[in-house]
Structure 1
Amino acid sequence: MDKSTNTVNYNPLPEDGSQIRLITILPGGKHKKVKCTVSNFPFVKNASQNPEYEALSYVWGDATITTSITLNSRPFQVTTNLEAALRALRLRNKKRLVWVDAICIDQTSIPERNQEVRRMGEIYSRANNVVVWLGRAQEPNDGEQLDDDRIADKLHGVLDTLANLQSENDEAAAALLDRTGNPIYAIRLLHRFFYRPWFNRIWVLQEITLAKTATIMYGDMRIGWDRLVQAVDALRRLQIGQYTYVWRLSGASKADSVQRCWMRTRGATKQSEHPSPVHLELADLLWQTRFHEWTEPRDRLFGILGLVKGDLRGEKLLEVDYMKPVADVFKDLSIYMVQGGMLSHLLCSIVKPVDGLPSWASNWIADLQGETATRLSKGLMIYMQIYEFKGVQQPLNPPRLSDDLCRITIKGAIVDYGIGHIGKRFEPFLAMSIEERARAVRTRLIEWEDEMESQHCAHQIFETQAERREAWKSAVLHELLGDETELGHHYDLMTDRENEIRTDKDYAFLMKIVTNFDSTLGLSCDYIRPFVTVSGLMGSTGTKSDLRSGDQVSILVGSGVPYILRPVDQTRDLYKFVGCCWMPGLMDFDAVEGEREGYWKPHDITLI
């Protein structure tokens, strides 16, 4: 957004936080230009003279596409989405007092941005109401147009009726949509609503979680946040069963992820007698928000700090500072996590090398598509937190940082001589029919098996082909040897050489199999890379790592997850960190236990 045309002179906000800047939306007709004033108001805790105001939660939109409003009688450029929000908020015969970040924070002043972002949680928690603006109900550039001009009214009717459903009947939501006479149309309404960008924006988690009350605005539609949550609950009950496709296609999981954050934060408030350590609380938040979006990269961290209930005041490593280089923000976050005993959380979050960061540091970014596509398996998520689940103290492994804070030395052991075989990468395929996707997954799983079977290293430990296949299956699916699971059964069906799976039978069952493999391995089997070590151990990466022959598997003191390291200078035990991995024989096998059993002796390992 070009702020050079914005000539409003802001009165400075005191550094002690005793004032807040608010806009007054002046009354006007629907098609009149938006006019506002901006002023400073008292903002003292428990003071009767504090103003009653609302706070706006929205997505800025494309910062290069702006329009003009009038602010303090002068032209002021805002994004078109913000202008639409202000227009929707405007009352015909009454002023409205609102806090809006793009206007109430002097965006040209980095010190003020730092100051206001630090107290963003307080601003939203003290607002009388948080208004969520999702955008116009039918944008002019949406492409395909629904054939009813009253989309907001129809959607409100569907959501309101869903919210009234009783929880006893798990399939009531599907029956309700069917009674509309056009369930596909109803699902499209829901899909368009829940796929608004707001639901995936990282800042909204804080804004909605800390709100006293919240109102959703979607064009002319108004619905309370509590009512929306009730509607989502009705749809969530379709996750299991014959109507699971309704849950998936509706997009309601987008709102569900916001609500889970709300429940987590409110729950942490109630459990004040036994609060989580602040490092663990922040790690949980970072994991929960890894698929959310932001424009300013520092907001990956700054956007969730207000949700941490533990005391972070005075913590210099996490201080909000938009002048701080992005790489330094995440290096300091990584140091903070390691110092707090969150080594496994940190290392398991690393997807790929990041410019400017040591290999052991993470920016906690992940996607469901593209180069950083990843979805850490449930197995790895459990063993990453194994000591917390067991309720026991993890073995101490205090990190030693180099003077330049770019190297970290920890105790661990190298398990094998290196990786001898890596499963091939497959070319990504475009979205196909369920039948085509099933055949593609079957072909790729069999190719992986055949490649493995032809490798000499794969025969070092497991003597029979059946034993090798079971070990390989456990490695690929991130399961333990001997586990009997539905996914394992699906794997057996897909890789049965004698009986190819019938794609013309039981479409719902076929969809379930394909969906399971999509979520476990990725649409193109690219979430993981299976491998065999030189001595015959089988495993697979936890993320889409750049795995290479010669990389080595390590076990670190205080971690229940194995890791892959790349030798840089083995005479000095220098390594680059590659990623976490799943190896059925090494899960929950700590380096200290291995020393006790006589397998190895832990030594210093330095990551650069």
Structure 2
Amino acid sequence: MASLTYSPLDVEEKEIRLLELLPGRWTDPIACELNTVSLCGDPCYDALSYVWGNPKDTLPITVDGKPFQATTTVRSALRRLRSYQDSRTLWVDAICINQEDREEKTQQVMLMRHIYSSAKSVQVYLGEGPILDAIPLEEQATWNQPPQIHWHRDLTVLLMSAEQAHWTVVLPEGGIKDQSRIDAFFARQKDPEYDPAKLTVLEALRHNQAGALSIMNMLSNGRCLKECLHSDYSSPAWVGALDALNDLVSLPWWTRVWVLQEAILCMEEVTAIYGEIRAPLGLMEDSGSMLPKHHKRGFCCKAFWDDLPPRQKDILNRFATQMYGLEGIRDLWFNVKEDQLKMLTIFLQRTRGRKTTDVRDKIYGLLGLIHHLPNTLGLRPDYGRTAVQVYTDIAMRIIEDTDDLSILASHEHKDLSSGLPTWVPNWTSTGSNKKPNFDYPIKAFTSQFRAGLSKRWTAKLVDGYALEVTGLEVDTVSQLAMPLCRTQTDLNERFAEFEQIAGLTRDPFSSYKGNIPLFDAFWRTMLDDVVYMIDRENIEERIIFIRANQSDGLSFQVARAVWKGDPDNMLFLSPAGKPLSTKDIAYIANRVKDNFWLTHEDRVFFKTKKGYIGFGPPETRIGDRVCVILGSSIPLVLRPARAPKFPSFLGGTISRDSPCFTLVGYSYIHGIMDGEAILKYYEEKDSISQAFARILGKRDSLRKIYLL
């Protein structure tokens, strides 16, 4: 039998193909027909959102009477969506777009914003879950239509006091639609005879899923988390519900880039399908994103949360993180009206943990979310360009738009063998292996410093790959500690190591650069000279930084004494001159510890040949250069690029004698964070030594360097 052939689409008419899913019983083969329509004619259809899965894992369906190899995910979704009696019109990208035609794929991807925003509904196929495997095939063969369990999203009004986080719930007039299921979940918790082991596997699974949806329903309606538990933490019904919740949030759909515009752009109903469960996606989103407001911002569930067993807390944290990952992007899309490039940059940073099959889609998959904003980028999906070209182009646009080099504060190390320039953010990376840094507020941190800020900075793309900047090599890394890992670190031992490297154990009263006490330089370095605060002005909490002051140095001394085990032998006084209580001392030590780990997880402490101390990325090596780049507010750790690592396509602009480096990452170096190195250079630039340095192009002169 001949394979499916696609007829061309009219780009000017915004033509797309729609899939007519023909009726059939549950076990019947899937049969469909394709029809070409114009979006200008407002066609009526439902759009499918799903995860492609393994492209090699396919099963046959029939399209226009011809065989088509659909991924198992697509086939399963179509089976769930099919009606026994009526045809259904769908848009499914894997079938409606000719995936072998690169130009058509480009044109259709450009229309996806229109496709999803015009759909009468979006059907989100999350996956099958464990239910189907628990139903015998013989029973499934009797189905005309598979079982469906519908949950609802109630229009509950939530009122919050600004002074103290407290929710007032105004219930809908008819009450909560799913209240009977919620009550049944509570009853199972309270029943001392309830034992899932005495149920069939199918009954136990359905109870667990009903419990998970009951928790979501409660939270989305503004109820407290503690109101969801009507027994103790070991209740089988409660534990089973959290297990089902964990299964749900572990599904790959929540981690993909494309699903953001698919779920957000639809102005109509968005329904999540999870096996036999159908529920508004907003019910799931609301419940998870509301959860932290109860135990972080308010006091209503703080004690309850603190007492939760670690595994249960982990599950609920993952749930909140996954749901807010979608809800947070939705809020940004709806409320923030920056220009296209600024919003694309924000979205790229917020979605670094999300995945795509094609790495170019890390950018292309977000374009639909910025289409309505001013100052058009003129960027269109082009699958004829390489990922290196796409990522490099966006990086240069960000540099030109932001008028600084903050983009170089990269959280991931890249080797030239990856093909991507090290100065270009790898948007497919979530950070280091030990700590996913994609959500770290790096811009808030770097904005506190002025190491290389200058009105005379320039950056130029050379040969489509290298970034030409002006920089000053300040020093070379000469001593290095091991990377920090919070779960494997004894702070007393590590700080003793840092004190030894810094020289404090040898002479605690010695001076540092600029004739300040070495200990002052040390404690400021241990805090990166900042302290963090939580800004709660808006519903979404955010971390902000302020520069440290002398009182923070006193707090550090208290914490250091605690880690050494010395506080029992010491007397600490408050600013009012009163002795600090044991509780106060413990609070100060924990606060300093949290501050330290926020900025230093998976970082390395080092010392340079000239005696500077600081922290850098975990890949820092002895011999790496500490550099200040004009336009970058923080110093960078760079590594000289050797001849064998030069990309073969670099043209004649850069010779093998040019000062070329790979970017290792950003750093904190005490004594050069506020422009001291650049200021010193300009003060000395008329001296004979600096004049000769510029003539000879020596490392301690301000010169053009190339980042590869």
Q: TM-score range by the shorter chain?
A: 0.7 to 0.9
Instruction: Select which of 366, 373, 395 maps to 1:334.
Output: 395
User: Which moved further from structure 2: 459-468 or 179-188?
Assistant: 459-468
Pair 1:265-2:333 in alignment: yes
> 2:665 — aligned with what?
579
Paired residue secondary structure (2:667): strand
Offset, 1:425: 4.2
Structure-1 separation of matches of 2:400 and 2:361: 22
Offset, 1:376: 7.0
Q: Which digits, 9 at most, give the CA deviation of each residue in 1:291-316, with x for residues without a partner?
A: 1111111112111122224467673x
Offset, 1:277: 3.8
Offset, 1:87: 1.0
Q: Which digits, 9 at most, give the CA deviation of each residue in 1:135-182, with x for residues without a partner?
A: 01317899xx8971314434333322222234xxxxx11331345954
- 2:458–2:630 CA contact under 8 A, matched in 1: no
Structure-2 separation of matches of 1:556 and 1:298: 29
- 1:457–1:532 CA contact under 8 A, matched in 2: no
> 2:32 — aligned with what?
36
Pair 1:400-2:464 in alignment: no
Instruction: Select which of 242, 247, 258 maps to 1:187.
Output: 242
- 2:360–2:390 CA contact under 8 A, matched in 1: yes
- 1:539–1:581 CA contact under 8 A, matched in 2: yes
Offset, 1:578: 1.9
Q: Counterparts in 2 of 1:401-480, with a 5 A limit?
A: 401-402=461-462, 404-414=463-473, 416-425=474-483, 437=487, 443-444=493-494, 446-453=496-503, 461=512, 466-467=519-520, 469-475=522-528, 480=547
Q: 1:26 to 1:352 in 2, by over 3 A?
A: same
Counting aligned pairs with the same residue, the percent is 24
> 2:284 — aligned with what?
228
> 1:99 — aligned with what?
91
Instruction: Select which of 147, 160, 174 maps to 2:226.
Output: 174
Structure-1 separation of matches of 2:454 and 2:399: 13
Structure-1 separation of matches of 2:95 and 2:505: 63
Instruction: Select which of 430, 436, 439 maps to 1:367.
Output: 430
> 1:86 — aligned with what?
78
Paired residue secondary structure (1:320): coil
Structure-1 separation of matches of 2:131 and 2:507: 58
- 2:406–2:633 CA contact under 8 A, matched in 1: no
Structure-1 separation of matches of 2:313 and 2:108: 38
> 2:707 — aligned with what?
607
Q: Counterparts in 2 of 1:191-590, with a 5 A limit?
A: 191-213=246-268, 214-240=270-296, 241-242=302-303, 243=305, 248-250=314-316, 251=318, 252-268=320-336, 271=337, 276-309=338-371, 310=373, 315=378, 318-341=379-402, 343-349=404-410, 351-354=412-415, 355-367=418-430, 370=433, 374=437, 377-378=440-441, 380-385=442-447, 395=455, 397-402=457-462, 404-414=463-473, 416-425=474-483, 437=487, 443-444=493-494, 446-453=496-503, 461=512, 466-467=519-520, 469-475=522-528, 480-482=547-549, 484=552, 492=560, 495-498=563-566, 520=598, 527-541=602-616, 543-544=617-618, 546-568=619-641, 572-587=658-673, 589=675
Pair 1:153-2:210 in alignment: yes
Structure-2 separation of matches of 1:212 and 1:485: 53
Paired residue secondary structure (1:149): helix
Q: 1:453 to 1:595 in 2, by over 3 A?
A: closer
Offset, 1:588: 5.4
Structure-1 separation of matches of 2:444 and 2:399: 19
Offset, 1:200: 0.8
Structure-2 separation of matches of 1:7 and 1:487: 73
Offset, 1:456: 8.3
Q: Structure 2 counterpart of 1:153, which letter?
A: A
Using structure 1 for the length normalisation, give the TM-score: 0.79
Offset, 1:490: 10
Structure-2 separation of matches of 1:413 and 1:148: 66
* CA RMSD between the two structures: 4.1
Q: 1:567 to 1:497 in 2, by over 3 A?
A: farther
Q: Structure 2 counterpart of 1:301, which letter?
A: I
- 1:556–1:591 CA contact under 8 A, matched in 2: no
Structure-1 separation of matches of 2:505 and 2:460: 39
Structure-2 separation of matches of 1:59 and 1:73: 25
- 1:134–1:198 CA contact under 8 A, matched in 2: yes
Q: 1:571 to 1:104 in 2, by over 3 A?
A: closer
Offset, 1:12: 1.3
Q: Structure 2 counterpart of 1:461, which letter?
A: Y
Q: 1:557 to 1:176 in 2, by over 3 A?
A: same
- 2:340–2:374 CA contact under 8 A, matched in 1: yes
Structure-2 separation of matches of 1:264 and 1:521: 26
Structure-2 separation of matches of 1:485 and 1:127: 58
Offset, 1:478: 8.0
Offset, 1:110: 1.0
User: Which moved further from structure 2: 133-142 or 94-103?
Assistant: 133-142
Pair 1:162-2:219 in alignment: yes
Q: Structure 2 counterpart of 1:539, which letter?
A: G
Structure-1 separation of matches of 2:345 and 2:558: 33
Offset, 1:477: 8.6
- 2:499–2:505 CA contact under 8 A, matched in 1: no
- 1:383–1:588 CA contact under 8 A, matched in 2: no
Structure-1 separation of matches of 2:558 and 2:519: 17
Q: Structure 2 counterpart of 1:71, which letter?
A: V
- 1:165–1:173 CA contact under 8 A, matched in 2: no
Paired residue secondary structure (2:475): coil
> 1:123 — aligned with what?
115
- 2:352–2:438 CA contact under 8 A, matched in 1: no
Runs of 5+ unmatched residues, structure 1: 167-171, 430-436
Structure-1 separation of matches of 2:258 and 2:597: 26
Offset, 1:132: 0.9
Larger Rg: 2
Q: Structure 1 counterpart of 2:9, which letter?
A: L
- 2:627–2:638 CA contact under 8 A, matched in 1: yes
Runs of 5+ unmatched residues, structure 2: 135-200, 297-301, 533-546, 569-582, 643-655, 686-699
Instruction: Select which of 3, 21, 24 maps to 1:25.
Output: 21
Structure-1 separation of matches of 2:669 and 2:657: 26
- 1:153–1:221 CA contact under 8 A, matched in 2: no
Q: Structure 1 counterpart of 2:512, which letter?
A: I
